[in-house]
Structure 1
Amino acid sequence: MKMIVDLGKDSYPIFIEKGILTKLDLYIKDVFQGKKIMIISDDNVYGHYGKQVEDVLSKQYEVSSIVVEHGEKAKRFDILPSLYKQLLNAKITRTDCIIALGGGVIGDLAGFVAATYLRGIPFVQIPTSLLAQVDSSVGGKVAVDLPEGKNLIGAFYHPKLVLIDPTTLLTLSDHFISDGMGEVIKYGCIKDAKLFEQLLNYQDFKDLYQDIDQIIYRCVDCKRIVVENDLYDFGDRLILNFGHTLAHAIEQYYHYENYSHGQAVGIGMVQLTHISEQTGMTVPGTADLIASLLEKYHIPTACGLKTKDLLQAISLDKKNIHSSLSYVILKEIGQTIIYKGSHDFVLNKEVI
């Protein structure tokens, strides 16, 4: 399966195919004719796929790798100098290429390094987690974290190519499957009611996997359409943040340890929808419907936090524009509106 993200001079193709890792060189040579490739990966993913990817690419390129510790801590701002130094030591130039091999953290980190090293060098996304395949590898958002919050230092910087191999999902733990399913369900909520209904009909992820190429394609296609219409996240693209205002605050409160991103998004979607139902903006029963689907894929729907504990994190949210937060609200499954409001909108619920 192939699609093009049409962004003029920044356009790039996305390929979704089981086994594509075995022939990466055939796709990369169409977008990169340089000599050197630096793979950036983490210690988990590299152990599964690093040698295979190096061997395939070494047919045509000089290949080296940087392997970081897995987890959100790999995106700390203070890790950047060591990465830049390794690129300099490898004599990586502006005509060379970085490959992001891993999940969303690696995609964000490697993309930010590519955007900022020597004022920008080409990079390719090879997402290996479900969350990265359906969401974070597409759209050009790259970033690192500050102690005060997630993704506060970043850029819009697009890859030359995205290569998605769904067979990498077979090596993921149940934890990372549920993490990615939080974002899959998000797309059903905001843009694709038929996808939402389809997800309800599977018994479990093993049952869903028979259609995984199609499901990834539908999620990515939803994101492609939104990104093409709103590249810099001030209009339609905001709908991709459904559940994220609460999710990022929950992640930060727990120092990115208690809940993965997709799990926090699940909690955020349900709890925000409970609030919007109470205000009459959302069809009654929608939050419970989302919760039932999340529970099928073992995603939490509440965390027992007092909302006042999240105030500081919410105030730093990047959707805070002109002292007003943009909340993504469901009218019903598949239909969204953007509601401009203060912190009080979510703080009116004592516990989430």
Structure 2
Amino acid sequence: MALGAGSYDIHVEAGLLDRAGEHVPAPAGDRPTVIVTDEIVAPLHLERLLNGLGGPAETIVLPAGERTKSWSQLERLTERLLELGVERGDHILALGGGVIGDLTGFAASILRRGCRFVQVPTTLLAQVDSSVGGKTAINSAAGKNLVGAFHQPSAVLIDPAVLATLPDRELRAGYAEVVKYGLLGDADFYAWCEANAAAVLAGDDAAQAHAIAVSCRAKAAVVAADERETKGRRALLNLGHTFGHALEAELGFSGRLLHGEAVAAGMALAARYSARLGLMAPGEATRISEHVRAAGLPSTIPDGARSPQRLVQHMRQDKKAAAGRVPLILMRRIGEAFVYPEADMEDVERFLTEECAA
């Protein structure tokens, strides 16, 4: 990741957990390296990481699930990190999916006014998206990721081999973020996804490695051009997220809808809304919805979230909103997304009303 003095390496290699010590400096003296993980990931991958570090380590195991990105768990984590004597120069390891990565990164950003951390993502979604770029956050009652900070990791260690333990639903959810990179700026990669989705989801090593590498390069290029989302370029990475976050919020950030599933539905909604506005050909929007469904992901508003008024209320809480206006990421065609700066939320509500009735 080319960010001047804040640049860091993104390592992608099978078996990387077993050699983690080659990329993570040990704390000074005899102090342990601290690993943050969750109750699902720990029994699957913690031992390999501990062996790969080859030195003393302490582990903090948190509950699994989106609700762990909360004030209470942030307090619990930061207090424990302080008890363990973590210093600014140490590297806190975030072993897990997007929840653990986001929470650990945010804790590192505020602990002693900024500590180092390393992302060790164990889900496809985290490997291709959330572990790269330095966005860290927790959720609040008002919405998703509304309390956070930009805080880049010192390194990202991606071991595609860990995906073999990932439940099918989680793998599909992560695949939504892979598709996103094709939609927002690479029509050829989107066509590759259409041809190779089955292989990626079936665990084909070469297909997964290619999907991860292309996605990470795409995100790294966008972040390097607009690290703190001040120029508009980085906002494109939110394709599908404004609609998707509203769906997640309406369902209480529960297991009823995984983040990647919400993004998939959100991208399909963004495509259909783009077509409604005459920005995208209807056939292109249909092509997107069909691919999302073919990958086993939702392309419509799920049951339990079919309240247009409440969805619009959630969208107004989007962190990109300014002066009461909500920008949307829409598309002119597959491979060309853009920021639609001032969405008419009354029209969006009419659109969602039609979608809920469909």
Structure 2: where are the runs of 5+ without partners? none
- Tell me, yes or no, if structure 1 residue 154 matches structure 2 residue 148: yes
- Tell me, yes or no, if structure 1 residue 247 matches structure 2 residue 247: no
Q: How many residues align?
A: 344
Call closer, same or farther: CA 1:207–1:111 in 2, change over 3 Å: closer
1:217 corresponds to which of 213, 220, 240: 213
Q: Is the 8 A contact 1:272 1:346 kept in 2?
A: no
Call closer, same or farther: CA 1:92–1:214 in 2, change over 3 Å: same
Q: Which moved more, 1:336-345 or 1:10-19?
A: 336-345
- The structural deviation recorded for 1:183 is 0.6
User: Residue 28 of structure 1: SS of its match in structure 2?
Assistant: coil
Rounded to whole Å, the distance in 2 between the matches of 1:228 and 1:97 is 23
User: Residue 44 of structure 1: SS of its match in structure 2?
Assistant: coil
- Superposition map of 1:74-113 within 5 A: 74-113=68-107
Q: Is the 8 A contact 1:36 1:97 kept in 2?
A: no
Aligned partner letter, 1:347: E
- Tell me, yes or no, if structure 1 residue 72 matches structure 2 residue 74: no
Q: Is the 8 A contact 1:75 1:144 kept in 2?
A: yes
Rounded to whole Å, the distance in 2 between the matches of 1:153 and 1:278 is 33
2:267 corresponds to which of 249, 259, 269: 269
Q: Is the 8 A contact 2:164 2:203 kept in 1?
A: no
User: Residue 118 of structure 2: SS of its match in structure 1?
Assistant: strand
The equivalent of 1:333 in structure 2 is: 334
Identity of aligned residues (%): 35
CA deviations over 1:251-289 (Å, ceiling 9, x no partner): 010012221111111111111211110111112212211
Q: Is the 8 A contact 1:185 1:196 kept in 2?
A: yes
The equivalent of 2:123 in structure 1 is: 129
User: Residue 145 of structure 1: SS of its match in structure 2?
Assistant: strand
CA deviations over 1:46-69 (Å, ceiling 9, x no partner): 110112211221x2x431010000
- Superposition map of 1:45-56 within 5 A: 45-56=41-52
Rounded to whole Å, the distance in 2 between the matches of 1:153 and 1:334 is 31
Q: Which moved more, 1:207-216 or 1:147-156?
A: 207-216
Rounded to whole Å, the distance in 2 between the matches of 1:119 and 1:190 is 35
Rounded to whole Å, the distance in 1 between the matches of 2:27 and 2:81 is 19
CA deviations over 1:24-80 (Å, ceiling 9, x no partner): 111223xx66443110000111110112211221x2x43101000000011111222
- Tell me, yes or no, if structure 1 residue 195 matches structure 2 residue 189: yes
- The structural deviation recorded for 1:344 is 2.5
Rounded to whole Å, the distance in 2 between the matches of 1:37 and 1:345 is 52
Q: Is the 8 A contact 1:243 1:272 kept in 2?
A: yes
Q: Is the 8 A contact 1:323 1:342 kept in 2?
A: no
- Superposition map of 1:202-351 within 5 A: 202=196, 203-204=198-199, 205-206=201-202, 209-234=205-230, 235-257=232-254, 258-304=256-302, 305-340=306-341, 341-349=343-351, 350=353, 351=355
1:169 corresponds to which of 157, 163, 166: 163
Rounded to whole Å, the distance in 2 between the matches of 1:153 and 1:338 is 23
Rounded to whole Å, the distance in 2 between the matches of 1:8 and 1:33 is 24
Rounded to whole Å, the distance in 2 between the matches of 1:36 and 1:95 is 13
The equivalent of 2:2 in structure 1 is: 6
Call closer, same or farther: CA 1:140–1:282 in 2, change over 3 Å: same
Q: Normalised by the size of structure 1, how large is the TM-score?
A: 0.94
Structure 1: where are the runs of 5+ without partners? none
Rounded to whole Å, the distance in 2 between the matches of 1:344 and 1:162 is 42
- The structural deviation recorded for 1:208 is 5.0
Rounded to whole Å, the distance in 1 between the matches of 2:301 and 2:337 is 24
- The structural deviation recorded for 1:81 is 1.9
- The structural deviation recorded for 1:346 is 1.9
Rounded to whole Å, the distance in 1 between the matches of 2:74 and 2:298 is 33
Q: Which moved more, 1:48-57 or 1:8-17?
A: 48-57
The equivalent of 1:179 in structure 2 is: 173
RMSD: 1.5
